[in-house]
Structure 1
Amino acid sequence: MKERGLKEALLPAARDIEALVRAEHPDPFAILGPHGDDAGGQFIRAYLPDALSVQVLARDSSAVLGSLTASEVPGLFVGHFPQAQAYVLRTQWAGGEQTAEDPYSFGQLLGEMDLYLFAEGNHRDLSACLGAQLQNVDGVDGVRFAVWAPNARRVSVVGDFNIWDGRRHPMRLRHPSGVWELFIPRLQVGEAYKYEILGAQGILPLKADPMALATQLPPDTASKVAGPLTIDWQDQAWMQTRGERHLPSAPLSIYELHAGSWQCEVDDVGEVARQYQWGELAERLIPYVQNLGFTHIELMPIMEHPFGGSWGYQPLSQFAPSARYGSPSDFAAFVNACHLAGIGVILDWVPAHFPTDTHGLAQFDGTALYEYGNPQEGFHQDWDTLIYNLGRTEVHGFMLASALHWLKHFHIDGLRVDAVASMLYRDYSRKAGEWVPNRHGGRENLEAIDFVRHLNDVVDLEAPGALIIAEESTAWPGVSQSTQQGGLGFDYKWNMGWMHDSLHYIQQDPVYRAHHHKELSFGLVYAWSERFILPISHDEVVHGKHSLIDKMPGDRWQKFANLRAYLSFMWAHPGKKLLFMGCEFGQWREWNHDQQLDWYLLQYPEHRGVQKLVSDLNQLYREEPALHDQDDVPQGFQWLIGDDAINSVYAWLRWSKDGRPVLVVANFTPVPRPAYRVGVPFAGRWSELINSDAGIYAGSNYGNDGGAETEDEGSHGQPQSLVLNLPPLAVLMLRPFG
């Protein structure tokens, strides 16, 4: 080839060079890397700003093939080689030497089916497709990066490996999916990285990877290359049987906790020195939950979130466990340990909204990509967050893949979907004129409804036995009804109405409870309209609402008696159970995410008494079918006394499927009521299962000496009756002897 023709072939067109130097070229592969000539040779071009020199070595033998010449354009090195072959570049920098394969010598990476499923919003294993994936390409180990940014003019991977220089590793755009990809050889696990994105209006703040599987420890915000989960799963028996544990007829008792503040390492003056890692938490938490008798724990969101004060409810990494508590493999080992101990793990999961942090999803490629463009659709006024545009297939699929990622890769047993009410209604917490109607002119968010239905159907297929639970506070019909019947398809719905009514009642001075009598009984009017979980969650013990025991009226004795009665009432009421950490031993102060629970309180008998009661309630709840196996049908409940407002007494029967009852009698005044007659269906001795006023719970120990014999006198529509001593501010549970 003549010298002039060679020089012209070596250098791209001036406009291409200019775009490359400005880091604005839309297709760097068209210029960089190897390009064949007509004679079987190849041109090689590398753009390496600040490099001193570049040699080309044969990949198989490391023999020196020649050097790339520094062109007139600073950083652009070019060369021609008579034979096309695989090569590596040995680059001299001011700080040393670097040898690696040329990222621009590799062909297209993602398969057409992956891109098709992503664009369709139905890629079931997106966390193994996009993001940073350890991969071997053409015999070379490295990391394949892939990110969706369809409106970007250029996307580059940046990190310590290229001194955070966006000119060094611009990516290839795959049309028409809008996914950019690049394989960077020899990168390893632990590398921190972000994306530098050129939008229509210029360079954006560096963006963390939406599909990151690991992150830096906040307040640092970079994503990290994650290795495969190094976990020897030993929970096969649990996974095979959990479907039976999750049936509506099974006991479900959930201990809700915040991983960072349940228990911490403290210094000599009692201040938090550091948060426990997952392994340390497992050693302490699992025996505690076993002793309390809960069937499951529910973790407030552990997906990476920049602001700890959001408690995890403003996550930015929907696929990465927070680095605050250890690595992804550490978290997987924690789940495995819970399963081996017979404890299920539920995660709070937030598909409703995300924070506005500039390194996150907001205006990701310079446009409203993950969020709605119109603030009347896409901005949450209450939380200063952005709302996912679930009507966009890629966003729909992104969130669907997030749910499956936790359920399948981490063996999570259920997701509690946060803020469902805000998803269902376009006018949620908005005034007239501040919201955009749907295509029919209504207030329902049709795309979010389609999403939750699709989510629940897909989870049934992809993660059988897993639970999807809705935190939903409105009268939307059929939340826990199947999608085939027109419902939303959730397994359970939080019963927010029961929570509000029962807490409002129990906070009344007993003198006034007669005027609020129906607040405790009203929940039975709709108790079987959905499959319900009764939630006393973190939301009820923060922001000036007082702790659960501090909501109770009266002196210290009455506060503890009220708390024990309330918890017993909750466990005897139809519906699965959820209790937030600290409530189980009567913590006085509100929950603070920056401090551990007040464990020192357990030196006092009243606090130990509440804890002992919760343990006994859970044991009874699990062992007594009448308290759980007809939770979701009216046949499992029968009123005996619902109208004794003057005495603030209630009585009912819980029935098992095989016809065995448990009698529940509650006295919500501080007045003992001797010889109180209650009708029962069967003659004989009825044994006392629970007396929340018992001495072992630090109560006054007033009661019935362990049980009572029936009298042949009908009452409350029953052929027999018991004459009981009702303890003050207490609940009794009894069953027929034998």
Structure 2
Amino acid sequence: MATQRDSDSAASPATRPPVVHPAHATRAWLDQAVLRALQSARHGDAFAVLGLQRLVATEELAGLAQLRALRCFLPGVVSVALVAVDGTWLADLQRQPDSDLFVLVLSDVPDGFEYRLAIDWGAGRTAPTLDPYSCAPLLLEMDVWLLAQGTHHRPYEWLGAHLVRVQGVDGTRFAVWAPQAQRVSVVGDFNQWDGRRHPMRLRHECGVWEIFLPQVGEGDTYQFEVLGCDDQVHLKSDPFAFRAQLRPQRASVVQRLLPGLASSEQRRAANALDAPVSIYEVHLGSWRRSPDGAWLGYRELARQLVAYAVDMGFTHLELLPLHEYPFDGSWGYQPVGLYAPTSRFGNPWEFRALVEAAHAAGLGVILDWVPAHFPSDEHGLARFDGSHLYEHADPREGFHQDWNTLIYNYGRSEVRNYLVGNALYWIERFGIDGLRVDAVASMLYRDYSREHGQWIPNRHGGRENLEAIEFLRRMNHVVGVQRPEAITVAEESTSFPLVSRPPTPDLQAGGLGFHYKWNMGWMNDTLAYFARDPVFRQHHHDQIRFSLMYAFSENFVLPLSHDEVVHGKGSLIRKMPGDDWQKFANLRAMYGLMWAHPGKKLLFMGCEFAQWDEWNADASLHWHLLEQAPHAGIQRLVRALNHLMRRTPALHELDTQPAGFEWISHDDAEHSVLVFQRRDRQGRAVVVVCNLTPVVRHGWRIGVPDEGAWSEAINTDAAEFGGSDVRNGTLDSEALSWHGQPHSIVMTLPPLATVVLALGDGAP
């Protein structure tokens, strides 16, 4: 017959109860210095003293096997009991005098022993709960290694807050990179924001602190309380939080990681260099508001905005930054929550629903992305662990003078990893089709917007930011390999070479790897030219044709963006010269030339109906203007241009190749007339004629590349668009060489207008 001890031995080691030694509890007491460190939240390794810890057996305790001390530090607790997983009471822990430490001495603790704690906070004992300090390390060794190397493509899968199950208990796994911190704790409503209650474990191999907290679930708010290397306590939001509170609140919110989305060949084709691309740039907070002035939510925008963009013929939406940000006036360009869609318009699931609605309607979604800088708000990344962790220490490298922000230290592999992982996160978890990378020029040059002596040369003595260049190449490479359906677009305003060309295989040379680059030179020259009185345009003819000198040096997007209609620059319609009729005619002509010019198109909201006032981010667009004929005409023109471009391969297929463009007449400065042709891969052509003065020109002969009947595919002077309706019927070509072309036609040039001619009925 087995003895009781034999029965215990036969039981499962993990469930057989240990032997309790209440009389020896004092042997588990902590040294007063250690206790004071816990009590003052200055202990840097709570996992070394809390939970089950091995005790050194003394002569008095000789023979006791597997002697353990169970310690729980619980400020504000009345009592604590040790219970089995099934809730069976095993023993009460004893309080170390004048402290919040509860202890128990155990022996014969079985391997894999799991236990629970029943805690009395003053209203009776709670249901048994898992002791966070009983948990083994949470990060897997491979992930630790990749995080330490800075080569983890998806660090967001491990860092931040993740809903997981440990020892059969639901809760949240927290992890944060803070290698120089003396101590890091998770704080929130669940522990009265008390940094003493849940100090984390440091994984020295990668500088990441981690802890699992049972019963912390989706929707709970939290932050990290960091005792920095500067000996100051910093209350920080989670850099990897998937959700955040709306300003002025600063806490992160536990949010389930959205499931990944599969790659889409359909979306890849829609982003291709030979695809028609017309982008509608939108600030969600001011596109349209409810009658009471409130923001529309993501779900309402999914209905209204998507339907409008589709009706207008746009192919893509581009959304100003939606990473969580504290200051409305930054429009999202100073984010503190790079992984959290702003809560201004709803939750992450609702934002994904907006993207999915766009895709279902055939629209791509591009997100403005801000890896160039971040704000210095105390709860953000600045001096995160008391050191200059994400930013450079030297302000000549780490402080952005234009925006009073901090510049990422691209030389740190962990910082690059944080940003590259974020690029993939938006594409993989929300289905974003592309990232428009903000302020690339400020990243590329160390002397950007700095005077002599205010910047530090690179290791070769030059002005290029070699670390930022390496980061951009790596980001574009990773996105290209991992998600080939997505694109990246550079807002880059200098002549830095090969922005939209691939890097070499080792990423050390070649291009930056972007798919497209904003053509800021075209934008500046075009707006400056059209702002001139037509009388003087003959003296600035080079300005309107110069962009074709370099149109194929990069893969370009032609942007008329929010930057051109804010901060006192006025709206596009107010930039135009002349009386109201001429203003609208000039704008129509400019749009016609823009849509006919090689390159993808981008137009900021409100510009499609010629809003008079410049953009105000705090109010809705002036939709009432569509009740007036000139504004409705501009809107109809933009819609018609989009649909014409989409159905006409010659206007998009060879946007990035010289074979798709040829001048017919570019030197008639006296009359401010331009004529050119666009071709598709099959050689089919359209002819574009621009008369950039208010003079109607009759009997005007132009060369055409092909024989046949040429008709107007679009005429920006048409009455339906608000013009004077100077039109051309069918124009039969003559076998008379003109402008170097084998055939020619005679037409009437409408005033201040762009005309696109196509063979046949004018509907390619």
Please indicate the TM-score interval, normalised by the length of the shorter structure: over 0.9
Per the TM alignment, residue 3 of structure 1 is displaced from its structure 2 partner at its CA by 8.5
Which whole-Å CA distance do the structure 1 matches of 2:31 and 2:466 have between them? 50
3-state SS of the aligned residue for 1:243?
Answer: helix
Which whole-Å CA distance do the structure 1 matches of 2:524 and 2:434 have between them? 25
Per the TM alignment, residue 77 of structure 1 is displaced from its structure 2 partner at its CA by 1.2
3-state SS of the aligned residue for 1:202?
Answer: coil
Which whole-Å CA distance do the structure 2 matches of 1:642 and 1:98 have between them? 83
Question: Cα–Cα, structure 1 residues 216 and 531, in superposed 2: closer, same or farther, change >3 Å?
Answer: same
Post-superposition CA distance 1:42-65 (Å, at most 9, x none): 422111112111222212x21111
Which whole-Å CA distance do the structure 2 matches of 1:98 and 1:498 have between them? 68
Per the TM alignment, residue 663 of structure 1 is displaced from its structure 2 partner at its CA by 0.5
Q: CA RMSD in A?
A: 1.7
Out of 91, 112, 115, the residue aligned to residue 87 of structure 1 is 115
Out of 457, 465, 470, the residue aligned to residue 490 of structure 2 is 470
Per the TM alignment, residue 16 of structure 1 is displaced from its structure 2 partner at its CA by 1.6
In the other structure, the counterpart of 1:730 is: 753
3-state SS of the aligned residue for 2:290?
Answer: strand
Post-superposition CA distance 1:254-313 (Å, at most 9, x none): 11001111111122xxxx1x1111110011011111111111100000010111110011
Per the TM alignment, residue 628 of structure 1 is displaced from its structure 2 partner at its CA by 0.9
In the other structure, the counterpart of 2:279 is: 254
Per the TM alignment, residue 15 of structure 1 is displaced from its structure 2 partner at its CA by 2.3
Out of 73, 78, 84, the residue aligned to residue 52 of structure 1 is 78
Out of 668, 690, 695, the residue aligned to residue 644 of structure 1 is 668
Matched, 1:68 2:93: yes
In the other structure, the counterpart of 2:391 is: 371
Which whole-Å CA distance do the structure 2 matches of 1:338 and 1:608 have between them? 25
In the other structure, the counterpart of 1:161 is: 190
Per the TM alignment, residue 131 of structure 1 is displaced from its structure 2 partner at its CA by 0.5
Larger displacement relative to structure 2 (546-555 or 375-384):
546-555
Which whole-Å CA distance do the structure 2 matches of 1:177 and 1:163 have between them? 29
In the other structure, the counterpart of 2:742 is: 719
Matched, 1:318 2:343: no
Structure 1 segment 192-203 matched on structure 2, within 5 A: 192-203=221-232
Post-superposition CA distance 1:613-635 (Å, at most 9, x none): 11111111011111111111111
Which whole-Å CA distance do the structure 2 matches of 1:299 and 1:222 have between them? 24
Structure 1 or 2, whichever has the larger Rg, is 2
In the other structure, the counterpart of 2:466 is: 446
Per the TM alignment, residue 120 of structure 1 is displaced from its structure 2 partner at its CA by 1.2
Matched, 1:13 2:31: yes
CA contact (8 A) 2:275 2:653 kept: yes
Per the TM alignment, residue 468 of structure 1 is displaced from its structure 2 partner at its CA by 0.7
Which whole-Å CA distance do the structure 2 matches of 1:567 and 1:400 have between them? 36
Amino acid at match of 2:154: D
3-state SS of the aligned residue for 1:687?
Answer: strand
CA contact (8 A) 2:25 2:105 kept: no
Which whole-Å CA distance do the structure 1 matches of 2:232 and 2:115 have between them? 33
Question: Cα–Cα, structure 1 residues 96 and 326, in superposed 2: closer, same or farther, change >3 Å?
Answer: farther
Amino acid at match of 1:147: V
3-state SS of the aligned residue for 1:452?
Answer: helix
In the other structure, the counterpart of 1:214 is: 243
3-state SS of the aligned residue for 2:264?
Answer: helix
In the other structure, the counterpart of 1:550 is: 574
CA contact (8 A) 2:25 2:104 kept: no
Which whole-Å CA distance do the structure 2 matches of 1:541 and 1:27 have between them? 54
3-state SS of the aligned residue for 2:389?
Answer: coil
Which whole-Å CA distance do the structure 2 matches of 1:631 and 1:108 have between them? 54
Give me the identity figure in percent: 53
CA contact (8 A) 1:27 1:173 kept: yes
In the other structure, the counterpart of 2:145 is: 116
Matched, 1:28 2:46: yes
Which whole-Å CA distance do the structure 2 matches of 1:656 and 1:230 have between them? 40
In the other structure, the counterpart of 1:265 is: 290
Structure 1 segment 628-667 matched on structure 2, within 5 A: 628-667=652-691
Per the TM alignment, residue 731 of structure 1 is displaced from its structure 2 partner at its CA by 0.5
Which whole-Å CA distance do the structure 2 matches of 1:79 and 1:559 have between them? 84
Post-superposition CA distance 1:441-475 (Å, at most 9, x none): 11111111001111111111111111011100111
Which whole-Å CA distance do the structure 1 matches of 2:633 and 2:160 have between them? 50
CA contact (8 A) 1:654 1:663 kept: yes
CA contact (8 A) 2:25 2:103 kept: no
Matched, 1:349 2:358: no
Matched, 1:145 2:174: yes
Per the TM alignment, residue 416 of structure 1 is displaced from its structure 2 partner at its CA by 0.5
Which whole-Å CA distance do the structure 2 matches of 1:94 and 1:554 have between them? 79
3-state SS of the aligned residue for 1:323?
Answer: coil
Which whole-Å CA distance do the structure 1 matches of 2:272 and 2:720 have between them? 33
In the other structure, the counterpart of 2:447 is: 427
In the other structure, the counterpart of 2:620 is: 596
Post-superposition CA distance 1:328-382 (Å, at most 9, x none): 1111111111111100010000111000000000000000000001000000000
Which whole-Å CA distance do the structure 1 matches of 2:406 and 2:731 have between them? 60
CA contact (8 A) 1:196 1:203 kept: no
Amino acid at match of 2:609: F
The two structures have a TM-score, normalised by structure 1, of 0.96
The two structures have a TM-score, normalised by structure 2, of 0.93
CA contact (8 A) 2:365 2:432 kept: yes
Out of 579, 585, 588, the residue aligned to residue 603 of structure 2 is 579
Which whole-Å CA distance do the structure 2 matches of 1:573 and 1:558 have between them? 22
Per the TM alignment, residue 97 of structure 1 is displaced from its structure 2 partner at its CA by 4.8
Out of 692, 705, 708, the residue aligned to residue 731 of structure 2 is 708
3-state SS of the aligned residue for 1:206?
Answer: strand
Which whole-Å CA distance do the structure 1 matches of 2:614 and 2:513 have between them? 35
CA contact (8 A) 2:182 2:228 kept: yes
Larger displacement relative to structure 2 (214-223 or 37-46):
37-46
Amino acid at match of 1:78: V
Per the TM alignment, residue 7 of structure 1 is displaced from its structure 2 partner at its CA by 4.0
Which whole-Å CA distance do the structure 2 matches of 1:310 and 1:708 have between them? 52
Which whole-Å CA distance do the structure 2 matches of 1:262 and 1:97 have between them? 53
In the other structure, the counterpart of 1:106 is: 135
Q: Which blocks of at least 5 consecutive residues in structure 1 are unaligned?
A: none
Question: Cα–Cα, structure 1 residues 286 and 67, in superposed 2: closer, same or farther, change >3 Å?
Answer: same
Tell me which stretches of 4 or more aligned residues in structure 1 moved more than 4 Å. Answer: 1-5
Which whole-Å CA distance do the structure 2 matches of 1:696 and 1:540 have between them? 27
Post-superposition CA distance 1:226-271 (Å, at most 9, x none): 024379x7xx7x822222222211111111001111111122xxxx
In the other structure, the counterpart of 1:329 is: 349
Q: Which blocks of at least 5 consecutive residues in structure 2 are unaligned?
A: 1-18, 56-63
Which whole-Å CA distance do the structure 2 matches of 1:468 and 1:400 have between them? 12
3-state SS of the aligned residue for 1:324?
Answer: coil
In the other structure, the counterpart of 1:687 is: 711
In the other structure, the counterpart of 2:65 is: 39
Per the TM alignment, residue 35 of structure 1 is displaced from its structure 2 partner at its CA by 2.4
Per the TM alignment, residue 712 of structure 1 is displaced from its structure 2 partner at its CA by 3.2
Larger displacement relative to structure 2 (360-369 or 478-487):
478-487
3-state SS of the aligned residue for 1:165?
Answer: coil
Per the TM alignment, residue 6 of structure 1 is displaced from its structure 2 partner at its CA by 2.2
Per the TM alignment, residue 401 of structure 1 is displaced from its structure 2 partner at its CA by 0.3
Per the TM alignment, residue 167 of structure 1 is displaced from its structure 2 partner at its CA by 0.3
